[in-house]
Structure 1
């Protein structure tokens, strides 16, 4: 088996310190993400002139986006997976996927019928008694809003707030590369890892895979293989298929790519979770302890109760710190996500050049249900932040400048010094208010101004990195299905997709743990195929 990765390999015990850190310090290190990748992420109701492309983070390296993400573990709702099965992904209902969720984890807090006890990925939570002041007080405000407290967010699927499940240890991040590609596994004679190498396209003869074309530093080369498993994520997996001639025939022809298989669904059905946040400067008494490295400690699941929307469709996460540096320890945020979004985007080729990155369009909030729920959810955030007790654990709300956030994001001694200095200056109330100036946000005024709320949503909505759906599973008679229930690409012998791009619809949670669950399940399916082929004397 040859594992080919475009980014670096960070073997267990030798990881870069920013990857090892449970706090996602690595998110601003360009070494661990795709440089130059952009997406049209602006709200779809805005004019084209305002909907410019922005940088879009996707992990690059063995371990993927788990090297840079928050390690949050939301399985979603059982109904998400039953919806997959009903749509044609046979064998992907809740009862089918639960064993794989349990298989991959060792839950350090619970051992019930929903929890794993012997898997490679640790699951833990910051207990409520250890929540930092801002997080704890916002949770108390949630209770006053009528939400109940849940013990285990991944076993009780009702609305309520809970400790946020995370797949890391208190002192270090555990990525899939750390958990699965151990030193013992790496010593196996049948495994080779080829890092820092880009696959430009998949080679096929007729309708059968024959290998891949690589672009290493010493020049292009072709490796022969009868089976190729694509696991580049919800954006880059369809891009690789398109570059290889697998996708909508008309689009491929217009891009100058010879058509190998006309599959209209490749790159369509792009889904993600839109999000928005409100940020406040925190007093010293509200800081999260330095040794608590989780980026967030608690969360809320709730139902919008809007017509045409699923239950349990919304989520909030409370951040008691927002960056690794001293200033980030003084900034708290409440982040809203539409967990069951209905807006659909696409991934397409921007150029016939195999080295070119794809054209990504999310059509954010294009579906009115998404926009309306974002406005309603913003009102809930404002209700929580203007709660009298919460006002005692925060200072002014303000609008962060993304350019400054990015500038301070790199982990350097200079950034430590200057963010510590800025934090000390901002502790002086009059100076803080003067320096923040026009960035200050009057939460009460915003809460009572419907037009201002709508404008805030239009201009401040961003996206999570929970991308899926672009090579979705489905029945043979589904014209937009790209793979079958085992990840096999329609009409191409030996070609598989093994990541969230095969998900028919977005689950009401993240994508981190779902990706690992799917990999475990698809690995069993591929092993069963190989055993059948050996028994029958066939191949492909």
Structure 2
């Protein structure tokens, strides 16, 4: 293929970009350039599932963003790791595979994303996945590239107690939270294959890289899009201090994520006119919603010391880690082969709630965050229960600070800005407490780490949420789909309003955040987008 001329240019080798690279090169008709700001994912702690705790704060693998001071969270700035490596965030995430609830996608349609309702996305999910274990029961098993693993036989025995407690608290226990209407608690399914992380790069990019029609360039930082009149015809990027320009005969597709995709648009003169003028950016197209509508999941976590053994008794001391490491090397099984999330699911916070409004995470481990941002396991038995609000209504923004692409944008989450979200935060604390106070959990608990938890009234629960709640690393909606430029950035075919030759395909295009973890919906979105792109290309 020509050195600097391609049919399609993709920006970002993350969960969406890897999918697009595979799908757009399968028929051999189109040349594709994939640009990634990070480097190789061939790293030991990326491939080991429990390595999430180590990669969480590794500056070599992620952008390491921090939000602006968030008034809704007691004025705190939050750490937002985002993948900067082949595979993107799918190479550093916790590997939980969650489709989301059917109503999430019906709400996409209501927001103007025609054709993205549950029947359409369910078809993509079924074609994309290779289920294992219980997941195969009652669902299509298409044998797709995304490995969705049932690891319940390798999870710590303590995790079964969470399911007993769920029944005692009045929640259902289910085999598969990804089935339609899935409500209750069960074992999480994970993107793990044969004891190793199975990222979007493993599922999609590695097969695509065997084709001569795909070229991948790493350590490539996009500085701006290039235009011919109103049409995007390429982009400029920097690599190792050298600036280069490449052209796209058909389209440039941004898959740089909910922070970087709006940043690139704004740096290129596509965005709110007032913002761009204030940053000295020549206006190409006034598109007010670029960077607006940011949504994320927030979770409150309570930890408890236990009078039974948990993962802490294995991974909280050097000898235990050595034994677990030896077992993993010899068998690819054991504690190191299981991601951090073990039990959880979708529940209703009260009888008056029409649909599940909280996602729970119940893990047989307790830990602390070190001053360096790392995760350090407690030495003695402990566990945690987290609750995140599924569908927050508050929306924030992402805005560039300067014309320099090297300057991190300003991230303003605007957390708990609505009364609905504040009430949901209180309910999250109540549900954790109800689960912790079941006979099953009380029988294995020494004490909560926060001694005041049992006595907190609603005001105290809300204040605790403001003081301690943290992101679950699911930013989305900053280039969302919708009807027109007044309410969105892209149309239902992911084309940027009023800018020919340009699409955005990643979690930033979600009209609203899905109820659960966002990696699975992002890969689904890219699979469906690839169909549309190929249709439009004839």
Q: Under a length normalisation based on structure 2, what TM-score does the superposition of the two structures give?
A: 0.83
Match of 1:487 in 2: 494
C-alpha separation in 2, matches of 1:451 and 1:474: 37
297, 305, 314: which one aligns with 2:342: 297
- Structure 1, 105-114 or 351-360: larger mean CA deviation: 105-114
CA 206–377 in structure 1, closer or farther in 2 if over 3 Å, else same: same
Q: Tell me, yes or no, if structure 1 residue 462 matches structure 2 residue 506.
A: no
- What does residue range 407-422 of structure 1 map to in structure 2 within 5 Å? none
Q: 1:5: which partner in 2?
A: 36
SS of 2:150's partner is: coil
**Counterpart residue number, 1:344:** 395
Q: What's 1:316 paired with? A: 360
Query: In 1, are the aligned partners of 2:169 and 2:438 still within 8 Å (CA)?
Result: no
Match of 1:121 among 119, 124, 146: 146
Q: Contact 2:366/2:377 (CA < 8 Å) preserved in 1? A: no
- 1:231-250 residue pairs with structure 2 within 5 A? 231-250=255-274
For residues 70 and 325 of structure 1, what CA distance do their matches in structure 2 show?
16
The answer for the alignment partner of 1:98 in structure 2 is: 122
In structure 2, relative to structure 1, the CA distance for the partners of 1:4 and 1:277 (3 Å cut) is same
Cα distance between partner residues in 1 of 2:61 and 2:358: 30
Instruction: Write out aligned runs for 1:162-311 (5 A).
Output: 162-169=186-193, 171-182=195-206, 184-226=207-249, 227-283=251-307, 285-287=309-311, 290=324, 291-292=334-335, 293-305=338-350, 311=355
2:6 match: none
Partners of 1:241 and 1:310 in 2: CA distance: 38
**Is residue 2:414 matched to residue 1:363?**
yes
Q: How many residues align?
A: 475
Matches within 5 A, 1:8-157: 8-10=39-41, 15-23=42-50, 24=52, 25-35=54-64, 37-40=65-68, 42=70, 44=72, 50-109=74-133, 110-112=135-137, 114-127=139-152, 131-157=155-181
- Check conservation: 1:19, 1:173, Cα contact below 8 A: yes
TM-score, structure 1 normalization: 0.83
Q: Is this contact kept in 2: 1:111–1:117, CA < 8 A?
A: no
Aligned mates of 1:64, 1:125 — CA distance in 2: 23
Q: Deviations over 1:37-59 (max 9, x none)?
A: 21136352x6xxx5143321111
Q: Contact 1:283–1:394 at 8 Å: present in 2 too?
A: yes
Instruction: Please report how far the alpha carbon of residue 258 of structure 1 lies from its aligned counterpart in structure 2 after TM superposition.
Output: 0.8
Q: CA deviation at 1:78?
A: 1.0
Q: 1:367-400 deviations in whole A, cap 9, x for unaligned? A: 11111111122122122223343133233322xx
Corresponding residue to 2:378 among 308, 327, 340: 327
8 Å CA contact 1:314–1:339 kept in 2: the answer is yes
What is the rounded CA distance, in whole Å, between the counterparts of 2:267 and 2:379 in structure 1? 41
Q: Secondary structure at the match of 1:106?
A: strand
Structure 2 CA distance for partners of 1:485 and 1:114, relative to 1, 3 Å: farther
Q: Which residue of 2 aligns with 1:397?
A: 448
Secondary structure of the residue aligned to 2:362 is strand
Match of 1:381 in 2: 432
Q: What is the distance in 1 between the residues matched to 2:83 and 2:70?
A: 21
- State the alpha-carbon separation in 1 of the partners of residues 265 and 428 from structure 2: 37
Matched residues in 2 for 1:43 and 1:457: separation?
12
Distance 1:252 1:266 in 2: 11
Q: Greater strand share, 1 or 2?
A: 2
1:465-520 per-residue CA deviation (whole Å, 9 max, x = no partner) reads: 111111111224x5122111111111111111110111111111111100100111
Q: 1:213 Cα shift? A: 1.2
1:452 aligns with 2:472: no
SS in 1 for 2:208: helix
Q: Distance in 1 between matches of 2:159 and 2:453?
A: 18
CA distance in 2, matches of 1:17, 1:242: 36
**Which runs of 5 or more structure 1 residues have no equivalent in the other structure?**
399-439, 532-540
Q: CA deviation at 1:280?
A: 2.0
2:524 is the counterpart of 1:517: yes
Instruction: Name 1:423's counterpart in structure 2.
Output: none
Q: Partner of 2:56: helix, strand, or coil?
A: helix
Change (3 A) 1:361 1:209: same
CA distance in 2, matches of 1:495, 1:95: 27
Contact 2:265 2:290 in 1 (8 A): yes
Contact 1:42 1:462 in 2 (8 A): no
The counterpart of 2:451, out of the listed 404, 427, 441, is 441
Look up the SS of the partner of 2:174 in the other structure: coil
**Distance in 2 between the 1:304 and 1:494 partners?**
45
Q: Matched residues in 1 for 2:265 and 2:366: separation?
A: 36
Could you give the per-residue CA deviations for residues 159-214 of structure 1, whole angstroms, max 9, x where no partner exists?
A: 311111211135110000011122x5313111111011111111112211121111
User: Aligned-pair distance for 1:123?
Assistant: 0.8
Deviation at 1:333, TM superposition (A): 1.2
Unaligned runs of at least 5 residues, structure 2: 1-31, 315-323, 325-333, 368-374
